Chains A and B, each alone.
Chain A
Amino acid sequence: QVQLQQSGAELVKPGTSVKLSCKASGYTFTSNHMNWIKQTTGQGLEWIGIINPGSGGTSYNVKFKGKATLTVDKSSSTAFMQLSSLTPEDSAVYYCARSVRGITSYVMDAWGQGASVTVSS
């Protein structure tokens, strides 16, 4: 079955960076785009961006340009998101989510378990 296994919780200091991972299994990694989504109690769900694992092509929410960088490692079927210049406002749960094929890249039919990031000194 399709699984997206995300890396664990992170406690990081302001001004630093963090790199989250999302290992895919149960399907052909390059056949579906991968989205990243931020969830907070205050702001709800926010779409960060999307990557095509086959080509490496990316598209970002303008709000997260310069904040998030999406990459993949096809050899290990793993997607990554690096968040830079972290502030307390970046504290959230971050999800990777696979795009459905054949409808649109922005409908997500499988989600990772989420990775909590806490930014605090």
Chain B
Amino acid sequence: DIQMTQSPASLSASLGETVTIECRASEDIYNGLAWYQQKPGKSPQLLIYNANSLHTGVPSRFSGSGSGTQYSLKINSLQSEDVASYFCQQYYDYPTFGSGTKLEIK
């Protein structure tokens, strides 16, 4: 299995700030990476696929980048509705997920 190491586990930021969440794969996943947002009590929702492609309807303040084994999700101009847990998922091999980052507003 490809292991996904996600950091930080939790994050507190102010409204309007920019935050970055990182994911490291245990081997090269050739941009086969997606990011999901899970709001409290809800199901995960797709944000980004192919490491940097924004899913339909996702605000442009979300962006993804990276290559090889290192990937990141950036959220610009943090909004209150961004309070959620964020998960990375690789799909170069059978899917595995990062352990999640819980984002709160300071």
Known: A45-B87, A103-B50. A111 touches B32 (CB 8 A): no
- At the interface, yes or no: B55 with Cβ under 8 Å from chain A? yes
- At the interface, yes or no: B26 with Cβ under 8 Å from chain A? no
Interface residue tally for chain B (C-beta within 8 Å): 20
Contacts of A91 in B (CB 8 A): none
Contacts of B43 in A (CB 8 A): 95, 111-114
What residue in chain A is nearest B43 (Cβ atoms)? A111
Tell me the complex Cα distance, A95–B36, Å: 14
Contacts of A104 in B (CB 8 A): 32, 91
Contacts of B64 in A (CB 8 A): none
Contacts of B98 in A (CB 8 A): 44
- At the interface, yes or no: B66 with Cβ under 8 Å from chain A? no
- At the interface, yes or no: A18 with Cβ under 8 Å from chain B? no
Q: Is A47 touching B49 in the complex (CB atoms < 8 A)?
A: no
Closest CB in chain B relative to A16 CB, distance in Å: 26
Contacts of B45 in A (CB 8 A): 111
B residues engaging A (CB < 8 A)?
32, 34, 36, 43-46, 49-50, 55, 87, 89, 91, 94-100
A residues engaging B (CB < 8 A)?
35, 44-47, 59, 61, 95, 97, 100, 103-104, 106-109, 111-114
7 residue pairs, one from A and one from B, having the closest CB atoms: A106-B91, A111-B43, A45-B97, A47-B95, A106-B95, A107-B49, A109-B46
